[in-house]
Amino acid sequence: MHPAPSPGHRALRVAVIGGGPGGLYAALLLKRLDPAREVTVYERDAPGETFGFGVVLSDETVGGIENADPDAFAALGEHLVRWDAIEVVHRGRTLTSGGHGFAALGRRTLLSVLHERCRGLGVVLRFRTQAPPAAELARDHDLVVAADGVHSATRAAHADVFRPALTTHRCRYIWLAADFAPDAFRFEIAETPHGILQLHAYPYAPDRSTAVVEAREEVWRAAGLDRLDERAAAERCAALFPGTLRGRTLHGNRSRWTAFRTVVNERWSHGNIVLLGDAAHTAHFSIGSGTKLAVEDALALAACLREEPDLPAALAAYEAERKPVVRSTQRAAHASLTWFEELADHVAQPPHRFAFNLLTRSRRVTHANLRVRDPAFVAATEREAGIRPGTPPMFTPFRLRGLELRNRVVVSPMDMYRSEHGVPGDFHLVHLGARALGGAGLTMTEMVCVSEPGRITPGCAGLWSDEQEAAWRRIAAFVHSQSPTAALGLQLGHSGRKGSTRRMWEGIDEPLTEGNWPLVAASPLPYRPGVSQTPQELTPAGMAAVREEFTAAARRGARAGFDLLEMHCAHGYLLSGFLSPLTNRRTDGYGGPLAARLRYPLEVFDAVREVWPAERPMTVRISATDWAPGGTTGEDAVRIAAAFAEHGADAIDVSTGQVVAEERPALGRSYQTPFADRIRNRLGIPVIAVGAVSSWDDVNSLLLAGRADLCALARPHLYDPHWTLHAAAEQEYEGPGAPWPEPYRAGSRRPPTGRTDAPKPRLSL
């Protein structure tokens, strides 16, 4: 029995371009929800023709199908293969993690079930038929669903409206299949003379499995895979992965090597034309199936058409519902594909750490939920890392020179703009003292300016006078006396071209209305042309003077009692301005190639390192990318980090951006950590990860995976000065990594809350 259409809902003539799973399922649902609709699907291939082999569906997607169409669910359920283990084959060793939960079936089987269901409902299926252009269909149909794939002709024809962004990535991959079914999702790593290749394999039938082989473009070419036909490529790939294939053959299905393309559209609809599935968006196969997203799109589109009063409202609701979900999936997919692109940076890790790193690469699987899924696997990983039983990774100590930090949590530098004439007062005493009492291993000051003209705003703190030194000494003494195992770090910097501006809440990066002071920078380029002041290019004499200001401030910081010094070479301030090719246009020995752009920041670092006590560590904060064309790249950041490490930096604090006003950062959870990961694992030097790291679960995951040594958090510490101690309480940890101050010890357990377990009614009358 068909559900009745909603009141006032009129019948629609619907054309669906593309007979893949997403298009077919949309047609099925639209017809089922309103049998009066005329629904036609155009598919250029024959019914049995398709690319690929198996399709992975999540439990949520399967549940959505069950709710929307029990008959389709029942038909699919007969063919679903389920498993819950992931196996990682690495350097001859296989590690297994359970509790994950997957379901898959053959792509041809899925299409066959959907074909049968569509026919049973009266959907017209036109195979071997090229669909007319969407604009033509739109003239005599009420709705046109463009499910025409990653190379969508509809999207291309209306690119001015949909405004797509297409990004082609650095790996080549090929879809193959094997005539056996592993009992787990398997990743196998092949280290060859040409480079690293990886296998993603999973069952989709009792005796069939999909095998995706992937490699960096340069590895693919060096191995000669670009010169092989389908059969030869399958034979070569089969020989690369003995741990999984064990001599079995691989075969193709119109298989060819391709580079993954991420598709993002600003808009998903144009009049009565709407994009669905890969036409609207793509997400890398390493975190799941594009089919999953397409099926979920179809469910949402059908529901919105049923719930909303008219077509424009329905398409707007569909886009509003699906876009945030897809963006989140694409962020996770990008993290995953980037991890595989940089696989060479991770293969030398110990086996359990490597497997844990692989499992948590997208940030959707974390330390906490992996402990629930497979506690034995996590425990083995922690043992391998030397972590004591019952100790979360974040509460393990870490040593930098003569300084041992009690845990891996850093209060990130945050400008407070509360100083008077550069002198920190009671606000800073309370602000920094509270966060040190709150459990963090290292509490950093805001950027402390080395001179009055080097301030960002009139409210910035400084360290160029005796009065300022005395004020900082008072704060350091409080921290060390009241939280004896806490460390206090000093960040030194000079604003460069980003100075003489208002306080953040008065207008960030806006120039002062009065009382401006002259600025200096690597080159005479304003931060915001037409708005910001144009700085003077720093002369050799000026460079020497600024260098002396840094060393004088460092001496004062040492006398004041700071445990660690960080030099600020990020975010477009003076030293950062020398590093970026977008802000350094000098023609002398301090401009041009990266080695020359590094010259002055390294001179300042060397001068500061010479006067800073030898037993106390120094770190450097860098912007690992400018998020702008022609700017600093992730590869440049590795070279910058290596140069500072060679000059004695004990750790690199890896931030990004804020160098040019026209930046376009790829924001998201832990979005800067891949840059820290690359530096740490490529150079083998300690790194501090920062950037939207918001939960203790994120911190534990990043540390145990070996992506960072320390994690710096800013906003969470503004929300909760005792963030670290509360993280310990929530994880039921009591130990030296999170000591509660004696006056606060009574609050070391989470307070009870109101009852939520009242008896539920047993009878309904």
Angle of CA points 151, 157, 162, to nearest 5°: 85
Q: What is the pLDDT of residues 156-190, one digit of tens each?
A: 999 999 999 999 999 999 999 999 998 899 999 99
Across residues 105-116, what is the average pLDDT?
91
Q: What is the pLDDT of residues 322-365, one digit of tens each?
A: 999 999 999 999 999 999 999 999 999 999 999 999 999 998 89
The reply to whether 552 and 633 lie within a common domain is yes
The reply to whether 158 and 241 lie within a common domain is yes
Helices 59-68 and 70-77: crossing angle in degrees, nearest 10, is 130
Helix, strand or coil, per DSSP, at residue 419: coil
Answer yes or no: is pLDDT of 60 > 80.
no
Cβ atoms of 171 and 177 closer than 8 Å: no
Domain boundary among 323, 343, 363: 343
The reply to whether 197 and 119 lie within a common domain is yes
Residue among 607, 608, 619, 610 nearest 563 (CA)? 619
**Do the domain assignments include residue 552?**
yes
Tell me the percentage of the chain whose pLDDT exceeds 70: 97
The reply to whether 305 and 416 lie within a common domain is no
Beta pairing partners, 678: none
Across residues 11-38, what is the average pLDDT?
94
**Do the domain assignments include residue 74?**
yes
| In 130-247, beta strands by DSSP E | 143-146, 164-178, 185-192, 195-205, 208-216
Please tell me the predicted confidence (pLDDT) of residue 9: 47
* CA separation, residue 701 to residues 122, 325, 346, 708 (Å): 50, 23, 15, 10
β 536-537/564-569 pair status: unpaired
Tell me which amino acid residue 66 is. E
Cα(239)–Cα(14) distance, rounded to whole angstroms? 48
Residue with tokens 């968006």: 281
The reply to whether 199 and 289 lie within a common domain is yes
Please tell me the predicted confidence (pLDDT) of residue 671: 87
**Do the domain assignments include residue 674?**
yes
| Number of domains present in the structure of the chain | 2
Residue among 566, 565, 633, 642 nearest 598 (CA)? 642
Backbone dihedral angles phi then psi of residue 82, each to the nearest 5 degrees: -120, 145
Residue among 55, 13, 64 nearest 37 (CA)? 13
* CA separation, residue 459 to residues 490, 496, 545, 642 (Å): 17, 16, 23, 34
* CA separation, residue 15 to residues 275, 544, 708 (Å): 12, 71, 51
Cα(309)–Cα(691) distance, rounded to whole angstroms? 42
Cα(102)–Cα(67) distance, rounded to whole angstroms? 19
Joined together, the tokens standing for residue 224 give 């000669």
Angle of CA points 554, 557, 562, to nearest 5°: 125
- Tell me 442's DSSP state: E
Sign of torsion, CA 429 431 434 435? negative
The reply to whether 127 and 269 lie within a common domain is yes
Three-state SS for 211-242 is EEEEEEHHHHHHCCHHHCCHHHHHHHHHHHCH
111-115, 404-408, 549-553, 597-601: least confident range: 111-115
284-288, 376-380, 582-586: least confident range: 284-288
The reply to whether 45 and 163 lie within a common domain is yes
Q: What is the pLDDT of residues 428-450, one digit of tens each?
A: 999 999 999 999 999 999 999 99
Across residues 86-113, what is the average pLDDT?
91
Joined together, the tokens standing for residue 758 give 């009242």
**Do the domain assignments include residue 256?**
yes
189: domain CATH number? 3.50.50.60
Cα Rg of the chain, angstroms: 29
Please tell me the predicted confidence (pLDDT) of residue 5: 44
Is 600 one of the catalytic residues? no
The reply to whether 45 and 127 lie within a common domain is yes
Residue among 703, 156, 717 nearest 433 (CA)? 717
Which secondary structure element, helix H or strand E, spans residue 536, and what is its range?
strand 536-537
Residue with tokens 């963030």: 723
Cα(756)–Cα(759) distance, rounded to whole angstroms? 9
The reply to whether 41 and 114 lie within a common domain is yes
* Mean pLDDT, the chain, whole residue set: 93
Cα(648)–Cα(619) distance, rounded to whole angstroms? 9
Please tell me the predicted confidence (pLDDT) of residue 764: 39
**Do the domain assignments include residue 397?**
no
Domain carrying residue 584: 408-731
Sign of torsion, CA 175 180 181 183? negative
**Do the domain assignments include residue 358?**
no
Options 25, 417, 573, 600, the catalytic residue: 573
Cα(626)–Cα(623) distance, rounded to whole angstroms? 7
Sign of torsion, CA 5 6 11 17? negative
The reply to whether 66 and 209 lie within a common domain is yes
Cβ atoms of 369 and 315 closer than 8 Å: no
> What b/e sequence results for 151-160 when a residue is b if at least 16 CB atoms lie within 10 Å of its CB, and e otherwise?
ebbbbebbee
Cβ atoms of 688 and 709 closer than 8 Å: yes
The structure's pTM equals 0.91
Domain boundary among 343, 376, 392: 343
Answer yes or no: is pLDDT of 765 > 50.
no
450: domain CATH number? 3.20.20.70
Query: Which residues lie below 8 Å from residue 128, measured CB to CB, with a gap of 6+?
Result: 43, 44, 45, 46
Helix, strand or coil, per DSSP, at residue 565: strand
**Do the domain assignments include residue 250?**
yes
Which carries the bigger pLDDT value, residue 483 or residue 755? Answer: 483
Residue among 758, 724, 680 nearest 348 (CA)? 680
Sign of torsion, CA 634 635 638 642? negative
The reply to whether 417 and 306 lie within a common domain is no
Q: In a 10 Å sphere around its CB, with 0-12 CB exposed, 13-18 middle and 19+ buried, how is residue 168 labelled?
A: exposed
> What b/e sequence results for 286-304 when a residue is b if at least 16 CB atoms lie within 10 Å of its CB, and e otherwise?
bbbbbbbbbbbbbbbbbbb
Helices 673-683 and 634-646: crossing angle in degrees, nearest 10, is 50
Answer yes or no: is pLDDT of 757 > 70.
no
Residue among 514, 590, 511 nearest 546 (CA)? 590
The reply to whether 305 and 421 lie within a common domain is no
**Do the domain assignments include residue 49?**
yes
Tell me which long-range contacts 288-293 makes (C-beta under 8 A, separation of at least 24): 288/56, 288/58, 288/329, 289/55, 289/56, 289/57, 291/20, 291/21, 291/22, 291/55, 291/56, 291/57, 291/107, 291/110, 292/55, 292/56, 292/57, 292/58, 292/61, 293/22, 293/326, 293/329
The pLDDT-based confidence of 76 (bands split at 50, 70, 90) is confident
β 520-521/93-97 pair status: unpaired
Answer yes or no: is pLDDT of 760 > 60.
no
Across residues 676-682, what is the average pLDDT?
95
Residue among 395, 474, 466, 399 nearest 432 (CA)? 474
251: left (phi over 0), alpha (psi -120 to 50) or beta: beta
How far does CA 615 lie from the centroid of its chain?
35
| Most distant CA pair in the chain, distance | 90
DSSP for 358-413?
HHTTTSSS-HHHHHHH-HHHHHHHHHHTTPPTT--GGGS-EEETTEEESSSEEE--
Answer yes or no: is pLDDT of 1 > 50.
no
Sign of torsion, CA 261 262 265 271? positive
